[in-house]
Amino acid sequence: MDEPHAVVVGGGIGGLSAALALHRRDWRVTVLERAPELREVGAGLSLMANALRALDALGLSSALRSNAHAEAPGGVRDRRGRWLSRMDAAEMVRQLGTSALGVHRATLHRILREALPASSLHTGAEVEHVDSDSDHATVRYRGPDGPRTLHADLVVGADGLRSRLRAQLWPKIPAPVYAGSTAWRAAIAFPEPIPTAITWGPAAEFGMVPIGDGWLYWYAARNAPPGGHAPDELAAVREHFGTWHDPIPALLAATPPKVVLRNDIHHLATALPSYVRGRVALLGDAAHAMTPNLGQGAGQAIEDAVVLGAACAGGAQGLPAALAAYDEQRRPRTQAIARASLRAGRYGQQLRNPLALAARTAALRLVPASVTLRSMTWCVDWRPPQG
State yes or no: residue 104 binds ligand FAD (CB under 6 A). no
Cα–Cα dist 34/56, whole Å: 28
State yes or no: residue 208 binds ligand FAD (CB under 6 A). no
146 in helix, strand or coil? strand
CA nearest neighbour of 261 among 218, 200, 209, 197: 218
Near ligand FAD by CB under 6 A: residue from 6, 7, 13, 198: 13
Near ligand FAD by CB under 6 A: residue from 295, 309, 345, 384: 295
Build a one-symbol-per-residue string for 39-78: x at contacts with ligand FAD by CB under 6 A, - elsewhere: ------xx--------------------------------
- Three-state DSSP string of 239-286: HHHCCCCCCHHHHHHCCCHHHCEEEEEEECCCCCCCCEECCEEECCHH
Nearer Cβ to ligand FAD, position 120 or 355? 120
Q: Where are the alpha helices (DSSP H) in 97-169?
A: 105-114, 164-169
State yes or no: residue 205 binds ligand FAD (CB under 6 A). no
Using the 8-state DSSP alphabet, how is residue 33 labeled? -
Q: Contacts with ligand FAD: how many residues (CB under 6 A)?
A: 35
- Least Å distance, CB 243 to ligand FAD, is 22
- Least Å distance, CB 87 to ligand FAD, is 15
State yes or no: residue 263 binds ligand FAD (CB under 6 A). yes
Nearer Cβ to ligand FAD, position 201 or 284? 284
Q: Of the ranges 87-95, 269-277, 281-289, 334-342, which one interacts with ligand FAD (CB under 6 A)?
A: 281-289
Cα–Cα dist 371/381, whole Å: 15
CA nearest neighbour of 87 among 71, 103, 73, 106: 73
Longest dimension (CA), the chain: 67
Nearer Cβ to ligand FAD, position 225 or 387? 225
State yes or no: residue 87 binds ligand FAD (CB under 6 A). no
Q: Which residues share a beta bridge with 139?
A: 130, 150
Q: Which of positions 122-161 make contact with ligand FAD (CB under 6 A)?
A: 126-127, 158-161
179 in helix, strand or coil? strand
- Least Å distance, CB 1 to ligand FAD, is 29
Distance linking the first and last C-alpha atoms of the chain: 22
Nearer Cβ to ligand FAD, position 32 or 89? 32
State yes or no: residue 197 binds ligand FAD (CB under 6 A). no
Question: In one letter, which amino acid is 113?
Answer: R
Count the Cβ atoms, other than its own, within 10 Å of residue 147: 9
State yes or no: residue 278 binds ligand FAD (CB under 6 A). no
Give 223's contacts (C-beta < 8 A, 6+ positions apart). 180, 181, 203, 204, 349, 350, 352
- Least Å distance, CB 9 to ligand FAD, is 5
Near ligand FAD by CB under 6 A: residue from 14, 73, 309, 384: 14
Near ligand FAD by CB under 6 A: residue from 32, 96, 282, 373: 32
Q: Where are the alpha helices (DSSP H) in 36-176?
A: 49-57, 61-65, 89-96, 105-114, 164-169
- Least Å distance, CB 333 to ligand FAD, is 14
Near ligand FAD by CB under 6 A: residue from 7, 108, 298, 373: 298
Nearer Cβ to ligand FAD, position 104 or 279? 104
Contact 75, 92 (CB under 8 A): no
Residues contributing to the site for ligand FAD (CB under 6 A) = 9-15, 32-35, 45-46, 126-127, 158-161, 164, 183, 185, 219, 263, 265, 284-286, 292, 295-299, 301
